[in-house]
Amino acid sequence: MVAGDSAEGMTPRSEAIRQAFRLEWLTVGWLALEAAVAIIAGVRAGSLSLTAFGLDSVIELASAFVLIWRLNVELRHGRVFSEEAERLSSRIGGGLLLLLAVSIAAGAVWRLWTQQGGEFSLSGLLVALLAIPVMAVLSRRKIALATQLGSRAMRADAVESITCGWLSLVVVIGLIANFLLDAWWVDAVTSLAIVWFVVKEGREAWAGEQCCCGHD
């Protein structure tokens, strides 16, 4: 049970924190399902892209739990006390984004080197298709709350959701192209295109640079 303000003493910021808290638990629930389905489907099909997609979901799960911890600190102890938690969770979020960028690049290079696209997986295709709208909704709401709270950590988490949505699209394109055209190289090439974006946001979060967020 999370401690917090009473209904009468609820402030706009504390309400936003609670909304962010609920949003992160929704994220955890979806990512747990996404990771399990993608990894199992990827291993069964011998698909590096699907397996990497599932591992990416595991990284995002870690980021979500870090952010839940940071939000819980503020709910329990107040905004001033949470500044240290914000800096720490922002750095962890940045580190996870950089780790994600490395994993994407390494996976792409490996697929190009081995010239393997894996087999088609219907369950993998379905979970990747569902992830696109789910992550679009989650990321938009997270960015709005990050702006309201002035939280670099939540912005980093939102970027990971955006990245997950793009990776989902990459997986879908790769699976369909490989199935219809035997174009094994498509997902490797397209996944490299978003690495620069992830690296940029990861470096900013790690360095503690102020994002385009407002403060109450």
With beta carbons less than 8 A apart as the criterion, state whether 214 and 147 touch: yes
Count of C-beta atoms within a 10 Å radius of residue 6:
6
With beta carbons less than 8 A apart as the criterion, state whether 184 and 115 touch: yes
pLDDT, one tens digit per residue, over 10-55 is 678 878 888 998 999 999 999 999 999 999 998 888 777 788 788 8
pLDDT of residue 14: 79
Tell me which of 2 and 104 has the higher pLDDT: 104
pLDDT of residue 28: 95
Tell me which of 152 and 25 has the higher pLDDT: 25
Report domain extents, the chain.
Answer: 12-206
> Rounded distance, CA 59 to CA 31, Å?
10
Q: What is the mean pLDDT of residues 64-90?
A: 75
Residue 90: both structure tokens together:
């922002």
Specify the pTM.
0.75
Residues 6+ apart with CB under 8 A from 194: 104, 163, 166, 167, 170
With beta carbons less than 8 A apart as the criterion, state whether 147 and 212 touch: yes
Tell me which of 72 and 77 has the higher pLDDT: 72
Residue 196: both structure tokens together:
């620069």
Q: Quote the mean pLDDT of the chain.
A: 81
pLDDT of residue 82: 61
pLDDT, one tens digit per residue, over 95-139 is 888 888 888 888 888 878 887 766 788 999 999 999 999 999 999
> Rounded distance, CA 28 to CA 71, Å?
14
Where does 12-206 sit in CATH, by number?
1.20.1510.10
pLDDT of residue 27: 93
pLDDT of residue 173: 84
